Amino acid sequence: MGSITELSAFEIARLVASKEVSCREVTQAFLDRIDKVDPTYGSYLTVDQEGALAASEVAQSFVDRGEAGPLTGVPIAVKDNISTDGVETTCASKILKGYVPPFDATVVERFKQAGLVSLGKTNLDEFAMGASTETSAYKLTRNPWDPERAPGGSSGGSAAAVSAELAPIALGSDTGGSIRQPASLCGIVGFKPTYGRCSRYGLVAFGSSLDQIGPLARNVEDAALISEVITGHDPMDSTSLNLPPISTRDLKKGSLKGLRIAVPREMFGEATNPGVAATVQAALDVLRREGADIREVSLPSIELGVTTYYIIAPAEASSNLGRFDGVRFGPRSEGKGHIGVVEMTRAEGFGHEVKSRIMIGTYALSAGYYDAYYLRAQQVRALMQQEFANVFNEFDVIASPTSPVTAFKLGELNHDPLAMKLLDFCTIPANLGGMPGISLNCGFAEGLPVGLQLLGAPLEDEKLLQYAYAAEQALPDATRRPPIP
């Protein structure tokens, strides 16, 4: 056996269940590695050493009583916009510095009940608004494949932690691609379930009709196993679907033989880097040789996706972020009267990207512009959902690049906000349509990972994971790790 930190979540759980290694030994191995390696990558905002070791003792008691589950004793990292009882939750924003939630998000409660061990909170773009993790108010996160490059965003800290073996699995949130895009850039698996399959209770809201919590993992099996733990109906979330957890029972029964894959030509347009397009096409050729029936289709509404998203998401953010006023959460700035306090707190607490999205969203919802912008955007969203539904009537899955580019240099896109927003070109449709989506590494372009995105019809999460697992077995580079010490 190599180092514990090199193992998958499934392999760790198997060793723990057989008592070949204790939960405390596993947790300590990851804490030691974080201590040595994370100063290079900056994936964690908070490392909860004391809490993690205490949780490992609880997990060990499950094992000793013969009650170990499929992931008991496995460490996990949590994106810092998900509430953790007693552990600071900042959303990487100054406006929440020092805020310690008095409760756990439902997903955290569920993984604790299953015996997983939280290592700490990972870095993100402020309030999950960004595609590079560079808008964090606290630190830069670096890509384990090249520390001079960005890990993607907004769940860049979670992606970097899994890629650099600083956690076997991590939780992120996905509003326009924030799980799948960093998974692509860091060469790991990122899964966004169908909207409503995973509780959002305890997730600090950005775009309430778009947000969904999901896992980042080293392989599809690990992503599926943690999805089974955290999903299922939650009465605390009014958008939660009354469905059982995502099942892993038939995960390995999927086959590529006869699988009908649609490839939208719009996702291979000018915005897609030629090296990325060639790598994804080579991966599709592998799937074709394995028996998949792959055909090109057209989904014209994809061209309108980014524009539509950047009306709906900021409009919802404008509403959701109204609660951060210096009265209820985080630090308060001094000002003249109540309005002055709110103005100064928000001016000093929010970063540039968050302020700009609040302003755009407020404008889109204002009298005289609501019909022209927000209402029209929702109409385009409905059109896109119908186009995708028509494709799923004929095909099992839709395949595309996850990101149109590989990992870019830190700072490279900071002065080109449009280019940064276009990074979500391929991932946004899944959020607008509520579809499940997964990214897995399918190869490399100029030495950097390239993600293959697979989208399934709404509620077909189990089938999508089956297809992704089968694809992963066929793709030779799917689980290659970065060359890190």
Dist. CA 174–CA 80, nearest whole Å: 13
Amino acid in the structure at residue 344: M
Query: Do 453 and 189 meet the contact criterion of CB atoms below 8 Å apart?
Result: no
The residues near 340 (Cβ < 8 Å, ≥ 6 apart) are none
H or E element, residue 475: none
Dist. CA 428–CA 209, nearest whole Å: 13
The partner residues of 294 in beta bridges, in order of sequence, read: 261
Buried b (16+ CB within 10 A) or exposed e, 54-86: ebbeebbebbeeeebbbbbbbbbbbbbbbbbbe
Active site residues: 79, 154, 178
- The H-assigned helical ranges of 234-333 are 274-289, 305-320
Residue 405: DSSP 8-state: S
Q: Which residue's structure tokens are 């490392």?
A: 47
Q: What is the DSSP string of 248-269?
A: -TTGGG--STT-EEEEEGGGGS
Count Cα atoms within 13 angstroms, Cβ side, for 421.
16
Residue 403: DSSP 8-state: S
Count Cα atoms within 13 angstroms, Cβ side, for 130.
35
H or E element, residue 444: strand 437-445
SS3 call for 41: helix
Dist. CA 439–CA 435, nearest whole Å: 13
Task: State how far Cα 338 lies from the chain centre.
Answer: 37
Residue 402: DSSP 8-state: S
Dist. CA 259–CA 188, nearest whole Å: 23
Q: How far apart are the first and last CA of the chain?
A: 17
Question: For residue 245, which phi and psi values (nearest 5 degrees)?
Answer: -60, 155
HEC string of 218-229 equals CCHHHHHHHHHH
Q: Beta strands of 125-251 (E only): which ranges?
A: 169-174, 189-192, 212-217
Tell me the two tokens of residue 391: 């494709």
